[in-house]
Amino acid sequence: MSEFKNKWAIILGGSSGLGLASAKKLASKGMNICIIHRDRKSNLAMFEKEVETMNAFGVTVKTFNKDALNEAVRLEIIKEFPKHSVKLLLHSIAKGSLKKMNNADAETLTKQDFDITIHAMATSWYEWVQTLIANQIFTDKARNIAFTSEGNARVWPGYAAVSAAKSVLEALMRNMAVELAPLEITTNCIQAGTTETPSFLAIPESKKLAEMAKFRNPFSRLTTPADVASAVYLLCKAEADWINGTVLKVDGGESLR
């Protein structure tokens, strides 16, 4: 646990799903946790119980129920961290339009929907990275990680805006991997298999997607948030120093067929 002592993980969108699972895993390994999330009061009681669980590991946990996409919020939150203290920035924001491109019964996907989704699920990652760099918040050999999905290349009705955002996310990952290497920051994406998170369940006909995923998966099960959290933890370890600019698939082989 000394490897992560006094080091922080900033997790954007970490109150549920993959972000929360990653926070819990890293806390159990001795890393301090900062979660920026956006939730209604009705959802906070369950989240606060999870925070108590993390606190029990003897680490410091900070939470901000604020809009991580807001520049003023970003500049406010980084004041909480001393220089060279953040080991990991994990982008797990799942906010985007699920409108269809051709829908006679409801609103059709617009340019504004694309703009909002791509900012929330892609370019906001770059904004946070640049703010942390400008204020010298990253540690040496820091980790910069975001969650992508197989939807970056596959088509599903209602997923066009998110798919576009994931493509932008991966392009940013590749370029940051090269341009931030002189700063000793590694940048990677994790492509989780089909995982029943709140954001996944919001996708139209998600039950059908889950059934297809179980059929495709060699292990005949869905990916769990804990599976993905373990990969985040592995990428934070010193043994992963030389992994940079890659999309790590954590899906049990689901994407192979």
What are the residue boundaries of the structural domains of the chain, listed by start?
A: 2-251
- pLDDT at site 1: 57
Amino acid at 184: E
Q: Which residues of 187-198 are buried (b: 16+ CB within 10 A; e: fewer)?
A: bbbbbbbbbbbe
Q: Phi then psi for 197, rounded to 5 degrees?
A: -100, 165
Yes or no: say if 142 and 89 are a contact pair by the CB < 8 Å rule.
yes
The architecture of the domain spanning 2-251 is 3-Layer(aba) Sandwich (3.40)
C-alpha 245/C-alpha 176 separation (Å) is 8
- What is the pLDDT at residue 143? 98
pLDDT means per 10 residues, the chain with 257 residues, are: 90 94 97 94 88 96 96 96 98 93 85 97 98 98 97 89 97 98 98 91 88 96 97 98 98 95
Taking the C-alpha atoms of residue 185 and residue 177, their distance in angstroms, rounded to an integer, is 8
